[in-house]
Amino acid sequence: MVPFAGWSMPIQYKDTIMDSTLNCRSNGSLFDVSHMCGLSLTGSQAIPFLESLVVADVAALKDGTGTLTVFTNDRGGAIDDSVVTKVTDKHVYLVVNAGCRDKDLAHIGAHMEAFNKKGGDVKWHVHDERSLLALQGPLAAPTLQLLTKEDLSKMYFSDFKMIDINGYACFLTRTGYTGEDGFEISVPSENAVDLAKALLEKSEGKVRLTGLGARDSLRLEAGLCLYGNDMEQHITPVEAGLSWAIGKRRKAEGGFLGADVILKQLQEGPKIRRVGLISQGPPPRSHSEIVSNSGENIGEVTSGGFSPCLKKNIAMGYVKSGLHKAGTEFKVVVRGKSYDAVVTKMPFVPTKYYKPS
Amino acid sequence: MALWACRAASYLRISSFPRAFSTVLKDLKYADTHEWVKVEGDSATIGISDHAQDHLGDVVYVELPEVGTSVSQGKNFGAVESVKATSDINAPVSGEILQVNDELSEKPGFVNGSPYDKGWIIKVKISDPNELNSLMDDEKYKKFCEEEDGTH
C-alpha cells in the first residue's frame, strides 16, 4: 500500500504487475478508483459554464454521451484532464483526478461564483457519497451483463446511463484507462464492497483485483496521458497531442481559458510535441533525457517502463517539433548512458473500445 | 480509504501484499540494502536476496558493471529494473570484478526465479576480508527483514 493524494492505495494485490497487466487484456481487471473525484454540474447554464473552462464542445454531445476533455488555464496549459458526460441539457457529470481534486474544485468553484454573480445558473455536487470502480477487459461486458437488465450491447464507448446494477443505483460510463473495452461504475459507497464481490464472483475468478502498478502499465501501453507526468500546467492540449479533443466549434469560437494561445498553436503548430517511443537498454523513466544522435538535448521522457504485453521498453515524452514523426531515431539517457530509441505511433497496444461497427 | 478493495480482498482470502515467507540461505552474508555475498576463498559472489526480488516484482533488466573495474563496500555498482521501479545494487564488499553474470542480459527473470543461484550478479576478488564482519548472518538478516516489513 502506498499513500496517494491523501488515499491509501494498493500498487498491487496478490498478482504481480506483469501478470495483472496481461490478465486485464486476456480476461479482465477490477480497479478501485474511488480516489477519483466525481462531480455533477446542474442548472440551465451548466454547459455554457463548463465550456468556459474546458476545450470540448459539450453542447454538441448527445444526451448520455461523453468525451475526454482538458481544463485549461489562461496560458493555455492543462489544469487537469477529465472525462465529461452530458447527462442532459441541464446536467453534466465529470470525473477529475484525485491529485488535482483540491486545485480543480477551487478553480471551478471560483469561476462558478463569478459566473453566478453575473446572473448565471449553475450548481454543483461533489459525489463523495459514491465510490468508483473500473471494470476493464474482454470479460467486462459479459460479467457486468449478468448483474443488470440493461442491454449493454447497445451501449457504446463514451456512453453514459444511470441504471441499476445488482440492485444498486449506479452511474455507468463505457470508458476506462486501459485501452480495453470496459466501464467505470459510480456506486453508492455503502454498496461498493458488495458490488465488487459480485463482479469478481460472476467472472468466476477471471476478473482480478488490480492495483495502481498495472493500471499505469496498461494506460502507458494504450498511449494515454497521466496528468502530472505527461500533462502539466505548462503543457497545452495541442502539445500533448489532444487537439482532437478541442471541438470544431471551439476551434472557431474559442471562449475557454487560454484560447488565444491554443488557437495560435493550432494554426502555427506547437514547438514541442508528445511522442511515443520504444527504446533499448534499461526502461527509461520520467525525466530521462532525450538527445539527438549527436548528443544535443531535444526533450525529456515523461512516463516510461517495460511493457508487459510487448516485452519492450515503452515511453512517452516531449521532443522538439520536427523530430516527432514515427520512425525518427534518437537516444534516451538512463543513468548516464545513451540507448537507441525510435519514435513509435501510439497506442503501443491496439485499443479495443466498443464502437458501433 | 480505498477500503472496499481491502475488504473485498480479505473476503476473497487473498493478500493485498505479495508477502510469502522469503527464503534466507544459511551460509551467506547479507547487507542492509538486501544484497547477499557467498564467500569462497578470496572471491565473493554477489546477488540480491529473495526478500529483495519479492519486493521488486518482475525483473526486466539488470544493468551490469564491467569486468576488471572495482566496486567499494556500500557503493552502487549496477541496477535492477522491474516493470515499475529501478533499484540500485550496492556492493556488500569491496574488490575487483572478476566475472559478471552475462546470462542476465537475456534472462533477467533469473533474479526472481533463482535469486541465490542462477540470478547471481557479479563475482569479485575481496580486497578487505574485514569488511565481511559488518554484514549480517542469516538469522540477523531474517529479523531485519521482518522488522522492515513491519514498519511498512
Q: Give the pLDDT of residue B84.
A: 76
Per-residue cell: B15: 493478500
The C-alpha cell 478493495 sits at: B5
CATH superfamily of A271-347: Aminomethyltransferase beta-barrel domains (2.40.30.110)
Measure B41 CA to nearest chain A CA, in Å. Answer: 33
pLDDT at A27: 98
Write out the three cell numbers for A55: 476545450
Average pLDDT, whole number, for chain A? 96
Specify the pLDDT at position B20.
53
Domain extent at residue B68: 29-150
B11 falls within a domain: no
Instruction: Report residue A133 CA to chain centroid gap.
Output: 14
Does residue B22 sit within a domain? no
H helices of A94-188, where?
101-117, 140-145
Q: Is B146 on the interface with A (CB under 8 A)?
A: no
Taking residues A141-162, report their average pLDDT.
98
Note whether B83 contacts A285, CB cutoff 8 Å. no
Fold classification of A2-219 (topology level): Gyrase A; domain 2 (3.30.1360)
Please answer whether residues A157 and A180 qualify as being in contact, where contact means their C-beta atoms are separated by less than 8 angstroms: no
Range with the poorest average pLDDT among A7-11, A177-181, B86-90 = A7-11
Residues in binding site of A for substrate: 184
Reply yes or no on whether the pLDDT at A11 is more than 90: no
Confidence tier at B151 by pLDDT (50, 70, 90)? low
State yes or no: pLDDT of A307 exceeds 50.
Answer: yes
8 Å CB contact of A192 and B18? no
Please enumerate in sequence order all residues whose Cβ is within 8 A of that of B133, keeping only pairs 6 or more positions apart, or say none.
none
Q: Please, are residues A229 and A219 in contact by the beta-carbon 8 Å criterion?
A: no
Distances (CA, A) of A151 to A130, A195, B65, B138: 24, 19, 59, 60
Residue A347: asked if its preceding bond is cis (omega within 30°), the reply is yes
> Residue B145 maps to which CATH number?
2.40.50.100
Kindly state the average pLDDT of the residues A258-276: 97
Residue A112, helix vs strand vs coil: helix
**Ranges A58-67, A222-231, B20-29: which has the least confidence:** B20-29
Query: How many interface pairs between A and B have CB atoms less than 8 angstroms apart?
Result: 93
Tell me whether 0.90 is exceeded by the ipTM.
no
- Let me know if residue B46 belongs to a domain: yes
Going from the C-alpha of A257 to that of each of A61, A79, A111, A236, the distances in angstroms are 20, 11, 11, 11
Question: What interhelical angle do B3-11 and A189-202 show, nearest 10?
Answer: 40
Residue type, B95: G
pLDDT per residue as tens digits for the range A119-144: 999 999 999 999 999 999 999 999 99
CB contact under 8 A, A213 and B4: no
Nearest to A282 among B6, B7, B79 (CB): B79
Q: Under DSSP, is residue B134 helix (H, G, I), strand (E, B) or coil?
A: helix
Domain boundaries, chain A: 2-219, 271-347
Residue B78 Cα, gap to closest chain A Cα (Å):
10
